[in-house]
Structure 1
Amino acid sequence: MPKTPPERLTLILDRIDTPVGQVLLVTDADGVVRALDFHDFEPRMRRLLARHCGAFELVERKAPAEVRDAVLSYFSGEARALDQVKTRTAGTAFQRAVWSALRAIPPGQTRTYAQIAQTVGSPRAVRATGMANGQNPIALIVPCHRVIGANGTLTGYAGGVERKRWLLAHECTILP
């Protein structure tokens, strides 16, 4: 008997203008965020979506108001606007642990890859932590921009180091 191909997941793609370029916000039918990336990294976002969701199709329209408003509020100065946004990803148990640790970093603060590795109970897995950080499909909400090098430098960021610098400065200026 022939195998039935997997059903394609229909996702909503919203494009939101921000001070550091347009962001691509992808949500599912439940209004849960599946991806968030910058417009100039759309091919990367699509690769990560395929890895996390399997077959999918993107339909361009506005994301649910509460999710869209949270993104806009973050850029308007509400440092914690993204804290309660629901996300859904696949990933290994280690990746999900790293992403959870990233979400625990308060706005305006940073951690090193070694500190994140320690937090997830794998202090020797610094490189693996960096790789998990790089596979994060939900920028800003899972704040990979808050991770820095051991010497305090702004190491690589999928959205570009200049965006990382802007985001960290933005968070420092909007803290209560």
Structure 2
Amino acid sequence: MLDIYTLGEEVLSEKSQPVTKFDSGLRVLVDAMFETMAEADGVGLAAPQVGVSLRLFVINIHGVEKRAYINPQIIETSIETDTAEEGCLSVPGVWHDVERPARVNVQAQDIEGKVFTVKAEGLLARAIQHENDHLNGTLFIDRLTLEERESMVKAYEKRNKASRRRKA
């Protein structure tokens, strides 16, 4: 299990570096990310969320997709958009509607370094875009209006303050 970094951690606002070594260390990281994501009940997890500034994320949408995306590039997005509620393991306890392209094509590498392309829509397209944002230092709340973002940060801080008190 890896620690999940939360709002305010510097690594979450930085642009990640490309993966250059496709070795056993990468396999260990990917396996640990899948385990951490499952334990946290998430559908996606990006390397910066576990304190690793690499261009890598994992997705597990049961019955749809379970895959590591290494050095992903969104190569095409639809003009049509979709709005749906999003949350984030790095901003636990808050959710908000986010508008995103309804469909995306993404090119990435697998754990062996082999290039693949995925055409996605629905939850998979949303998860790919959300996780890819992490690789560019963007959280879902950064896509909201200033007023909405401030409201989400306040809700997050209030929730965290309460949970810290319960643990003490």
Q: TM-score, normalised by structure 1?
A: 0.28
Q: TM-score, normalised by structure 2?
A: 0.29
